[in-house]
Amino acid sequence: MLLLLLLCLGGCGLLGKGGSEDALSSTSTPEAQADAAWQGGDPIVYKTVIKVQGGPKALEEKMRTLSSLERLAKEPPDSMLALERRARADVKTAKNLLHAQCYYDGKADFTIEESVKPVRVLLTLTPGRRYTLGRANIFYETDPVVPDFFKHRQRETGFWGLETETVPPPSFPRVLPGVKVGEPVIADDLLAAVEALPEKLQKQGYPLAEVLDSSYTLNRNVAQLNADILVRSGPPALLGRIEVRGVDDVNAEYVRRLAPWKPDEDPWDAELVEDYANYLRAQGLFRKVETKPLTEELQPNVREGAASLPLEVTVTEAPMRSVGAGARYDTDTGFGVEGTWEHRNLFHNGEKFKLSVPVATETQGLKAAFEKPAFLSREQRLLVDASALHENTSAYESMAVSASGDIERRLSRFWWGSVGLGGESGSIKDNEHDEKAYGFFGPRAGVRRDTRNNVLNPSDGTQLAVTLKPYTGFYGESFNIVTGTIAASGYYAPFRKDGKPDDKLVLAGRVEAGMLTGASLHVIPASLRYYAGGAGSVRGYAYQSLGPRDTSDDPLGGRSYQLVNLEARYKITDDVGIVPFLDGGMVYRDELPRILGDMNWGAGLGMRYYTPIGPVRLDVGVPLQPIDGDPPVQIYVSIGQAF
């Protein structure tokens, strides 16, 4: 039995990730320089043929993606010598590829046929036998210490943390996870498994874990690769205090309060630290967020044998104020613009305050929104909205002020819940009544589940929202009503890229329904009724055009509604896409919608131009059941996906 220590570059491909790629970069640059330096002679037009003898077809495809001959084929060399240099570079790359795929006896060679036109370069790979993983043993410098606190931990689960579960104690494998002994192993996969060892320990309370040494040897007698890894676990540690650097306008204590742990109460978890950093980045307060453990300030034996490791958070603050504007165009409602002013750190604790001034055919006025993050708890936020608006639509004309306040709390990983109060008061004139005063007020509650991977342009995940709003109010006479809505949307990318959903094609769908009970239609102010039709509901139909009509054939609104939206979002390039769509919906006088029955449908095609702030949307829709007097085509231009 002969054991060879694989320490030579280009050997088994285990001395660095992607050994074949390293070989490619090291040979292509001198080759390109040699070609450029050659003077005289006609360009050598050639064709590359890659042949794998006695091996899988996949090797040919992998080699083709790495080949200098293939990559530089449109830049023919000026001499046979230069062409030979390319071929020799590919031979070296091919050997590294074979070794990286566990063909350690693999060979590669080339021949050049000058007598044919174009010149034929034959690159031949002979993989030979494929080696399997004989062993992948892990050794520890010293036996890891596991404090009792790490062995008997509980964590909150379920809605509002009402349930608990036992947290498994740290594990210290003796065989490398992620690979299988007795099977072939790709070099990159083996290296990735070794790199993951300390990362796993750093998530289980051992922040200083590291690989001290790794040895890879071949047993050619039995065609096996053997791996021996030496690991230092380091001391067990808790997530300690947080030192905040770089803050000026933002309160450092606020930054600490956003951490999802309390100092010296949870084992060190590198993944939790990264989640914390990403959470800070998402606040819109910082250009840059960096974290690192303060290893020199490690405090031993703080709790039941566990040390305390402080965390340093260094930030670079971003501008706290911004001015913006948006515009839209719909065939039925015309142009609309909205200017905004936002302050993202009003009282130095991440409070967001936004003023908006919409100016459109159907709406003009002023809107204000305030958000207080980490309100009484990290997982809670306070939301306050107010507006003073003049609305003039086909269904009604109103002048009203409104205000609402909600507390939203994260209940679990994907679930949020909210409770609040809201009301509106003003005057309104609809197509059946002269102008008169109205007002309503009441509590509300809702739950939301959101697993979307991107809020602005999702390609995967779902969203479900349920709201309930009981109101008491007056409109000529007093009324008491209850409104409720349910909306669900889903996004599916059938293709994958690097193991993640590829947004080349995204199938998107939404269903929504609402009900209003407790009073007849004429007692309810027109602004509280449901409407459908237009850019946000059923494209192809005029704004508010679907549903009951009054004696003048104008929209009346209803007490229930339902919507269905289907889209296929296809990217032609990274920046431009097309979106065929089908929308359906209807509004009803009844308290409950007629599920999937008696709906009007619209279809069309949209264009998307993708920008960092979201896609610019152009949709052209046609009604499949035209309404007399409405345009045969509707055009919508705005920012953001339809849903």
Instruction: Give the model confidence (pLDDT) of 616-628 as tens digits.
Output: 999 999 999 998 8
- Distances in Å between the Cα of 448 and the Cα atoms of 266, 346, 458, 486, 562 are 29, 28, 17, 10, 19
- Is residue 244 within 8 Å of residue 252, measured between CB atoms? yes
- Distances in Å between the Cα of 60 and the Cα atoms of 21, 57, 83, 155 are 15, 5, 20, 51
Domain with CATH 2.40.160.50 in the chain: 407-639
What are the residue ranges in the chain where pLDDT is below 50?
Answer: 1-40
Q: Distance between CA 464 and CA 485 in Å, rounded?
A: 11
Residue 318 pLDDT:
95
Torsion, Cα of 123, 124, 129, 135 (10° steps): -10
Residue 487, amino acid: A
Q: Is the peptide bond between 56 and the residue preceding it cis, with omega within 30 degrees of 0?
A: no
Q: How many CA atoms lie within 13 A of 600 on its CB side?
A: 26
Residue 20 pLDDT:
30
The enclosing H or E element of 528 equals: none
- Distances in Å between the Cα of 40 and the Cα atoms of 35, 43, 394 are 11, 9, 78
Q: Name the β-bridge partners of 535.
A: none
132-232: CATH topology is Ubiquitin-like (UB roll) (3.10.20)
* 94 DSSP 8-state letter: H
Q: Classify residue 320 as exposed, middle or buried by CB count within 10 Å of its CB (0-12, 13-18, 19+).
A: middle
Selection from 346, 343, 372 nearest residue 355 by Cα: 343
Alpha-carbon torsion (183, 186, 191, 197), positive or negative: negative
Q: Name the β-bridge partners of 242.
A: 311
pTM to 2 decimal places: 0.73
Q: What angle separates helix 19-37 from helix 80-100, to the nearest 10 degrees?
A: 180
In the CATH hierarchy, which top-level class contains the domain 407-639? Answer: mainly beta
- Is residue 229 within 8 Å of residue 174, measured between CB atoms? no
Q: Give the tokens for residue 323.
A: 């001015």
Residue 9 pLDDT:
27
Residue 432 pLDDT:
80
Residue 443, amino acid: P
- Is residue 172 within 8 Å of residue 140, measured between CB atoms? yes
Q: Distance between CA 132 and CA 12 in Å, rounded?
A: 13
Selection from 249, 232, 236, 255 nearest residue 312 by Cα: 255
Q: Classify residue 153 as exposed, middle or buried by CB count within 10 Å of its CB (0-12, 13-18, 19+).
A: middle
Distance of CA 140 to the CA centre of its chain: 38
Phi then psi for residue 514, to 5 deg, are -145, 155
Q: Distance between CA 306 and CA 632 in Å, rounded?
A: 72
Selection from 243, 248, 254 nearest residue 295 by Cα: 243
Q: Which residue has the tokens 């998530």?
A: 203
Q: Distance between CA 97 and CA 23 in Å, rounded?
A: 10
Q: 543 by DSSP, 3-state: which?
A: coil
Q: Distance between CA 266 and CA 608 in Å, rounded?
A: 46
Q: 492 by DSSP, 3-state: which?
A: strand
Domain with CATH 3.10.20.310 in the chain: 237-317
Per-position b or e across 434-457, b if 16+ CB within 10 A of its CB = eeeebbbebebebebbeebeeeeb
Selection from 234, 141, 227 nearest residue 191 by Cα: 227
Domain 237-317: which CATH number of 3.20.20.70, 3.10.20.310, 3.40.50.1000, 3.40.50.970: 3.10.20.310
